[in-house]
């Protein structure tokens, strides 16, 4: 029997997840069978067109009619529609996979995590932090868990894009606090915060973030509305943020993201330094991990994470036949849908989404108050 999937959202993320579901039977034959049953949105014509292209059986303009009719509900809409439909689905006992950031506000994220807790462990509620599913990131996690880097001292993460560097770039929901919650902070920073928590958040590594200081900046306050003959709308979110972190074990962290980093399109990079070694990862070279072992005194070596025994790689091509960004969606869909079929748990969960949101909210609070904020 196939799992029937309802998906809210048919643009960028709708396409990424629909593509992932379509790839599963070919490359992950052990994944449960899924049917792209119903695509949800507001505009019927656009929905019809998208459903055709993305392989959905039906469309609906009312998520409330869908959430308890399907075996899993994907919430891939803008941030301001994350909470209500996801909570309704969980209340109906339907597993939910929600795009990041979990919600526009900490309050919404808390309500979503509460709903997930109440739904119980056999109703997976996942937050789609896809970068956890890069093979090189899984490889890095294994090294860290095996203690290869020793005591963690420095953790660095930056996520740079440049699609708003032109002051005439059009206004979108991503520029609006009501709709998005925050700007570069939530959209990009959420990924980095989650990735660092995934990699070094264990108690025997850096542990939780204890306290932080944050700084936000909006460079362009108003943007033209596309096709509206000169009308502009205010930008009410950050274009860039930076933060300093202190971890439980005393490690220091620095974070940064921007939509104004000229020339950088999707440059997400992580660096970790421990007493025994260092590692570097960049999304722009996502098949590689750079590792330095202090005792070997040879500088960084580049590990190509494309071997059959590397995480997820055996499902794809022979060694050296590299993977890309879209594969991360296939991997996370495989894990999420397997959890749905087995009634098992999925990580990153809504709880992980909430933990990331707590960090984002503290960064905003620190910026507003001009002081360090404790997360305890
Ligand atoms: C923003 O440009 C964006 O599409 C994010 O929303 C995604 O989460 C990120 O993976 C790529 O950039």
The first and second tokens of residue 47, run together, are: 């929905």
Q: How far is CA 191 from CA 68, 233, 294, 355, 356, in A?
A: 29, 27, 29, 12, 8
CB-defined site of ligand 1, < 6 Å: 161, 187, 266
- Whether the CB-CB separation of 135 and 323 falls below 8 Å is answered with yes
Question: How does pLDDT run across 99-147, given as a tens digit for each residue?
Answer: 999 999 999 999 999 999 999 999 999 999 999 999 999 999 999 999 9
Note the pLDDT of residue 250. Answer: 98
Task: Give the pLDDT band (50/70/90) at residue 224.
Answer: very high
Closest ligand 1 atom to the C-alpha of 191?
8
Closest ligand 1 atom to the C-alpha of 163?
2
Note the pLDDT of residue 297. Answer: 87
Share of the chain above pLDDT 90, in %: 98
Could you count the other beta carbons within 10 Å of the beta carbon of residue 168? 7
The first and second tokens of residue 324, run together, are: 């890309």
State yes or no: pLDDT of 227 exceeds 90.
no
Q: How far is the CA of 159 from the centre of ligand 1 (A)?
A: 10
The first and second tokens of residue 370, run together, are: 């001009």
Note the pLDDT of residue 194. Answer: 98
CA 208/CA 213 separation, integer angstroms: 15
Closest ligand 1 atom to the C-alpha of 99?
8
Note the pLDDT of residue 268. Answer: 98
What's 33's DSSP letter? P
Q: How far is the CA of 79 from the centre of ligand 1 (A)?
A: 12
DSSP 164-219: T-STTSPP-GGG-HHHHSSSHIIIIIHHHHHHHHHHH-STTTT-SEEEEEEEEE-S
CA 197/CA 209 separation, integer angstroms: 8
Average confidence (pLDDT) over 198-206: 98
Task: Give the pLDDT band (50/70/90) at residue 1.
Answer: confident
Q: How far is the CA of 132 from the centre of ligand 1 (A)?
A: 14
State yes or no: pLDDT of 6 exceeds 90.
yes
Q: How far is the CA of 188 from the centre of ligand 1 (A)?
A: 7
Average pLDDT, rounded, for the chain = 98
The first and second tokens of residue 52, run together, are: 């055709």
Q: Please tell me the residue having the least CA distance from ligand 1 atom 9.
A: 188
Q: Please tell me the residue having the least CA distance from ligand 1 atom 1.
A: 187
Closest ligand 1 atom to the C-alpha of 187?
6
Closest ligand 1 atom to the C-alpha of 190?
8
- Residue to probe by mutation, ligand 1, list 187, 195, 332, most atoms within 8 Å of CB: 187
Q: How far is the CA of 266 from the centre of ligand 1 (A)?
A: 8
Note the pLDDT of residue 230. Answer: 87
- Residue to probe by mutation, ligand 1, list 130, 188, 282, 328, most atoms within 8 Å of CB: 188
Q: At 344, phi and psi to the nearest 5?
A: -105, -175
Share of the chain above pLDDT 70, in %: 100
- Residue to probe by mutation, ligand 1, list 266, 329, 348, 360, most atoms within 8 Å of CB: 266
State yes or no: pLDDT of 351 exceeds 90.
yes
Bridge partner list, 293: 277
Note the pLDDT of residue 309. Answer: 96
pTM, rounded to two decimals = 0.98
Note the pLDDT of residue 246. Answer: 98
The first and second tokens of residue 13, run together, are: 């993320």
Note the pLDDT of residue 228. Answer: 78
Note the pLDDT of residue 319. Answer: 95
Q: How far is the CA of 295 from the centre of ligand 1 (A)?
A: 38
Q: How far is CA 92 from the centre of its chain?
A: 25
Question: How does pLDDT run across 242-251, given as a tens digit for each residue?
Answer: 999 999 999 9
State yes or no: pLDDT of 229 exceeds 90.
no
CA 186/CA 194 separation, integer angstroms: 11
Question: How does pLDDT run across 258-295, given as a tens digit for each residue?
Answer: 999 999 999 999 999 999 999 999 999 999 999 999 99
State yes or no: pLDDT of 233 exceeds 90.
yes
Q: How far is the CA of 169 from the centre of ligand 1 (A)?
A: 16
What's 1's DSSP letter? -
Note the pLDDT of residue 353. Answer: 98
Alpha helix (H) residue ranges in 217-342:
325-342
Task: Give the pLDDT band (50/70/90) at residue 376.
Answer: confident
Q: How far is the CA of 1 from the centre of ligand 1 (A)?
A: 34
Note the pLDDT of residue 256. Answer: 98
Average confidence (pLDDT) over 200-226: 98
Q: How far is the CA of 187 from the centre of ligand 1 (A)?
A: 6
Angle of CA points 326, 154, 191, to nearest 5°: 25
Question: How does pLDDT run across 14-60, given as a tens digit for each residue?
Answer: 999 999 999 999 999 999 999 999 999 999 999 999 999 999 999 99
């Amino acid at each position: 029997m196939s799992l029937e999937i309802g998906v809210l959202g048919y643009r960028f993320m709708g396409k990424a997840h629909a593509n992932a579901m379509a790839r599963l039977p070919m490359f992950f034959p052990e994944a449960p069978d899924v049917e792209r049953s119903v695509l949800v949105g507001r505009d019927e014509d656009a929905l019809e067109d998208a459903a055709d292209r993305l392989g959905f059986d039906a469309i609906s303009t009312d998520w409330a009619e869908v959430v308890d009719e399907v075996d899993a509900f994907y919430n891939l809409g803008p941030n301001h529609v994350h909470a209500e439909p996801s909570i309704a689905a969980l209340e109906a006992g339907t597993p939910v996979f929600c795009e990041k950031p979990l919600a526009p506000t900490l309050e919404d994220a808390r309500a979503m995590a509460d709903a997930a807790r109440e739904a119980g462990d056999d109703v997976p509620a996942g937050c789609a932090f896809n970068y956890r599913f890069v093979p090189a990131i899984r490889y890095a996690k294994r090294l860290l868990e095996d203690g290869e880097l020793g005591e963690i001292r420095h953790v660095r993460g930056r996520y740079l894009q440049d699609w708003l560097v032109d002051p005439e770039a059009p206004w979108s929901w991503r520029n609006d606090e009501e709709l998005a919650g925050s700007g570069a902070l939530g959209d990009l920073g959420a990924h980095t915060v989650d990735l660092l928590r995934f990699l070094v958040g264990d108690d025997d590594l850096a542990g939780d973030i204890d306290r932080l200081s944050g700084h936000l900046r909006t460079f362009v306050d108003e943007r033209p509305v596309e096709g509206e003959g000169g009308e502009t709308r205010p930008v009410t979110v950050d274009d860039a943020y930076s933060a300093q972190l202190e971890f439980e074990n005393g490690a220091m962290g620095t974070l940064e993201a921007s939509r104004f980093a000229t020339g950088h399109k999707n440059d997400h990079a992580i660096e970790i330094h421990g007493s025994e070694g260092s590692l570097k990862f960049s999304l722009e070279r996502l098949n590689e991990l750079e590792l330095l072992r202090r005792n070997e005194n040879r500088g960084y070596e580049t590990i190509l994470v494309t071997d059959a025994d590397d995480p997820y790689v055996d499902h794809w091509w022979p060694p050296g036949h590299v993977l890309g960004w879209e594969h991360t969606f296939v991997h996370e869909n495989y894990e999420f849908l397997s959890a749905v079929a087995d009634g098992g748990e999925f990580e990153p969960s809504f709880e992980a989404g909430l933990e990331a949101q707590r960090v984002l909210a503290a960064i905003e609070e620190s910026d507003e108050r001009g002081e360090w904020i404790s997360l305890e």
